[in-house]
A and B are shown apart, each in its own frame.
Chain A
Amino acid sequence: MSAPLLDVRDLSVAYGRAEVVHNVSIQVTQGALVTVIGANGAGKTTLLNALMGLLGARGAITFRGRPIANVPLEARVQQGLCLVPERRELFADMPVEDNLLLGGIRRSRAERNQTLEQVFSQFPRLKERRRQLAGTLSGGERQMLAMGRALMARPTLLMLDEPSLGLAPRIVRDIFQILTELRASGVSILLVEQNARAALQVADYAYVMELGAITTQGSPAEIAQDSRLVESYLGLGGNDY
């Protein structure tokens, strides 16, 4: 088996003295969609922020065969790591198109324009609203814009933090549909979700995070059969999403 695209070993993250992520080890192989599920407060967002470089951490992070634990955030973006944060963090007072173009700021102009067309074909809605200010978009459109902006950087690994949060079920379905399309187009994805049922349906591999540590991992089918996890995270019956 080839080396994983992202290899995280014994990563710990602390806010001051309070350690909130303890010795987490996860791997994402090239082309896979890997999910980390867990309850609110399990440390999932902290984990992603540390992987991106927004937070300092102890432990080893290897991305595309190179250690990046001491690499600053901007250089991680340059190397192909991108995060779509939970709060989207859009440039609210700028038009959709400028938000997207800034996403590709580290790429050449030709590459940027070409990727912009690709993103517009993936998200036709954004093309319709290209002149509209990002702050005036609906929740679903903002999520699409956040994803589109991250894709403008041509990431090798796209990390998403709760893309379904606060969105209507129909829009959540659209977002997850787009995630599967992205994976099919060759982008590797690390998806952090509270909506475990939706995440497990699209993922190739899943980790369960509880109280800052990875407690279970396996294929989505295995996780879905674990009766304790089903009870804690998936609930019984209900809708697909």
Chain B
Amino acid sequence: MDTTIFLFLLQDGVINGAVYALVAIALVLVFAVTRVIFVPQGEFVAFAALTVAALENGRAPSTPWLLLALGILAAIAEVVWHFRDLTVKRIVRVALLDLALPVALLWLTLALAPMKLGQLVNILLAIALITPMGPMIYRIAFEPLAHSSVLVLLMAAFGVHFSLIGLGLVFFGPEGSGTTPLSSASFSLGDLVVTGQSVAVLIVTAALLVLFALFFGRTLLGKALRACSSNRIGARLVGIPTSAAGQFSFAIAALLGAVSGILVGPLMTVFYDSGFLIGLKAFVAAIIGGLVSYPLTVIAALGVGFAEALFSFWASNFKEVLVFTLIIPVLAWRSIYAPYHEESE
């Protein structure tokens, strides 16, 4: 391998790694706050990319219909689980967030889609359509199980994953699509051609990671979310509403997923089920970060991306297998050196 190829693979790896990093920190966040290993995180990525692709073609995507379906389910869940403490405030909130918001977004999408208003509108609309799905999914599937063991939550996460894959096929169909790059510019650094898309991926990821760090390090709301992961009982005792914290973490996860989808859309052909592999590779990074450390997770994600690029050069048939094999030495190392903690509660 010569330097040019190496640099090319490095660029490719860093770009993929940056996207994995966004997905992986969402996984770490959701696990820290709710103890859910959020298998369906990748679905947000795929659905966001498919949404932008449809909008670019001047078609109305099916995303708002999916959002409306989830909203109706969430509203039913709310009424069923909280039948006894249904207050007027609660009913108004359900009506607004679960029903009025999806209907409004549906109307907006149907109105805007044929107008082809350009990339920025498409992106913002996709983010607006995907982000509310996070808290809805939390309330449908995970809130009623909030006090269950990690294993039960993991099984529920798989259930949600399979449901979303099925819904994805119904709503988006089996065809794959790609989106136009965020920037078509490209320039050469020596022998290496750097595309504008790569630079955009890096800038967006870096900016989001900085925002993320500021939010959790500086704001009381961010600290409250960290408190939920630091000590669940302590967080409840100071009056942090754990359900709201869970919904908020799922909203951030969906937002990060949507942004990741917008970033990968131009890099690959996305199908309704493409998210799972992305999520799984991000999961490798999250595990290397111990599902706790954000900086370690980001570094691990970049490592996974680079390893994937190298493997696809050396043994492209075994690319996926080799990437997932990375997790084995990490798990072995962790099980030898990390002390075993019995799950509290």
A-B contacts, 24 of them at CB < 8 A, read A70-B84, A70-B85, A74-B239, A74-B241, A77-B237, A83-B237, A87-B233, A89-B233, A89-B234, A90-B231, A91-B226, A91-B235, A93-B230, A94-B223, A94-B226, A94-B227, A101-B220, A101-B223, A102-B223, A102-B227, A102-B235, A102-B238, A105-B220, A150-B237
> 10 tightest CB-CB pairs across the interface, nearest first?
A77-B239, A89-B234, A91-B230, A106-B239, A89-B233, A74-B241, A74-B239, A103-B238, A91-B227, A89-B231
Minimum CB–CB distance for A97 against chain B, Å: 10
Interface residues of B in 126-161 (CB under 8 A from A): none
Contacting residues, chain A, for B226 (C-beta < 8 A): 91, 93-94
Contact with A102, one of B85, B224, B233 (Cβ below 8 angstroms): B224
Minimum CB–CB distance for A2 against chain B, Å: 27
Q: Does B334 contact A (CB under 8 A)?
A: no
Q: Does B240 contact A (CB under 8 A)?
A: yes
Contacting residues, chain B, for A87 (C-beta < 8 A): 233
Interface residues of A in 58-93 (CB under 8 A from B): 70, 72-74, 77-78, 82-83, 85, 87-93
Asked whether, in the complex, the Cβ of B230 is within 8 Å of the Cβ of A73, the reply is no
Interface residues of B in 12-61 (CB under 8 A from A): none
Q: Count residues on chain B whose CB falls below 8 Å from chain A CBs.
A: 18
Asked whether, in the complex, the Cβ of A91 is within 8 Å of the Cβ of B239, the reply is no
Q: What separation, in Å, do the CA atoms of A183 and B167 have in the docked complex?
A: 59
Residues in B lying within 8 Å of A, measured CB to CB: 84-85, 220, 223-224, 226-227, 230-231, 233-241
Q: What separation, in Å, do the CA atoms of A146 and B223 have in the docked complex?
A: 17
Q: What separation, in Å, do the CA atoms of A98 and B85 have in the docked complex?
A: 32
Q: What separation, in Å, do the CA atoms of A77 and B224 have in the docked complex?
A: 15
Contacting residues, chain A, for B239 (C-beta < 8 A): 73-74, 77-78, 105-106, 153
Given contacts A70-B85, A73-B236, A103-B238, contact A94 B220 (CB under 8 A): no
Asked whether, in the complex, the Cβ of A91 is within 8 Å of the Cβ of B237, the reply is no
Asked whether, in the complex, the Cβ of A85 is within 8 Å of the Cβ of B227, the reply is no
Asked whether, in the complex, the Cβ of B240 is within 8 Å of the Cβ of A92, the reply is no
Q: What separation, in Å, do the CA atoms of A78 and B240 have in the docked complex?
A: 10
**Given A92-B231, A102-B235, 7 new contacts (CB under 8 A):** A74-B239, A91-B234, A94-B223, A94-B226, A94-B230, A102-B227, A105-B240
Asked whether, in the complex, the Cβ of B233 is within 8 Å of the Cβ of A54, the reply is yes
Interface residues of A in 91-128 (CB under 8 A from B): 91-94, 98, 101-103, 105-106
Minimum CB–CB distance for B173 against chain A, Å: 43
Q: Count residues on chain A whose CB falls below 8 Å from chain B CBs.
A: 29
Q: What separation, in Å, do the CA atoms of A98 and B222 have in the docked complex?
A: 11
Asked whether, in the complex, the Cβ of B237 is within 8 Å of the Cβ of A105, the reply is no
Q: What separation, in Å, do the CA atoms of A91 and B238 have in the docked complex?
A: 11
Asked whether, in the complex, the Cβ of B85 is within 8 Å of the Cβ of A91, the reply is no
Q: What separation, in Å, do the CA atoms of A73 and B234 have in the docked complex?
A: 12
Contacting residues, chain A, for B233 (C-beta < 8 A): 54, 85, 87, 89
Minimum CB–CB distance for A104 against chain B, Å: 8
Asked whether, in the complex, the Cβ of A74 is within 8 Å of the Cβ of B240, the reply is yes
Minimum CB–CB distance for B227 against chain A, Å: 5
Minimum CB–CB distance for B132 against chain A, Å: 23
Asked whether, in the complex, the Cβ of B224 is within 8 Å of the Cβ of A105, the reply is yes
Contact with B along A140-153 (1 / 0, CB 8 A): 00000000011011
Asked whether, in the complex, the Cβ of A98 is within 8 Å of the Cβ of B223, the reply is yes
Q: Does A52 contact B (CB under 8 A)?
A: yes
Q: What separation, in Å, do the CA atoms of A90 and B235 have in the docked complex?
A: 9
Q: A77's closest neighbor in chain B, by CB? A: B239
Asked whether, in the complex, the Cβ of B237 is within 8 Å of the Cβ of A102, the reply is no
Contacting residues, chain B, for A89 (C-beta < 8 A): 231, 233-234, 237
Among A70, A83, A105, find the residue whose CB has the most chain B CB atoms closer than 10 A.
Answer: A105
Asked whether, in the complex, the Cβ of A52 is within 8 Å of the Cβ of B237, the reply is yes
Q: A91's closest neighbor in chain B, by CB? A: B230
Contacting residues, chain B, for A82 (C-beta < 8 A): 237
Contacting residues, chain A, for B234 (C-beta < 8 A): 88-91
Contacting residues, chain B, for A149 (C-beta < 8 A): 238
Contacting residues, chain B, for A54 (C-beta < 8 A): 233, 236-237
Contacting residues, chain A, for B240 (C-beta < 8 A): 74, 102, 105
Minimum CB–CB distance for A178 against chain B, Å: 19
Minimum CB–CB distance for B255 against chain A, Å: 23
Q: A112's closest neighbor in chain B, by CB? A: B220
Asked whether, in the complex, the Cβ of A91 is within 8 Å of the Cβ of B220, the reply is no
Contacting residues, chain A, for B237 (C-beta < 8 A): 52, 54, 73, 77, 82-83, 85, 89, 150
Interface residues of A in 11-62 (CB under 8 A from B): 52, 54
Contacting residues, chain B, for A91 (C-beta < 8 A): 226-227, 230-231, 234-235
Contacting residues, chain B, for A74 (C-beta < 8 A): 236, 239-241
Q: What separation, in Å, do the CA atoms of A216 and B234 have in the docked complex?
A: 32
Minimum CB–CB distance for A151 against chain B, Å: 11
Q: What separation, in Å, do the CA atoms of A72 and B143 have in the docked complex?
A: 15
Minimum CB–CB distance for A74 against chain B, Å: 5
Q: B217's closest neighbor in chain A, by CB? A: A98
Q: What separation, in Å, do the CA atoms of A103 and B239 have in the docked complex?
A: 8
Q: What separation, in Å, do the CA atoms of A89 and B239 have in the docked complex?
A: 13
Interface residues of A in 149-204 (CB under 8 A from B): 149-150, 152-153
Contacting residues, chain B, for A52 (C-beta < 8 A): 237
Contacting residues, chain B, for A70 (C-beta < 8 A): 84-85
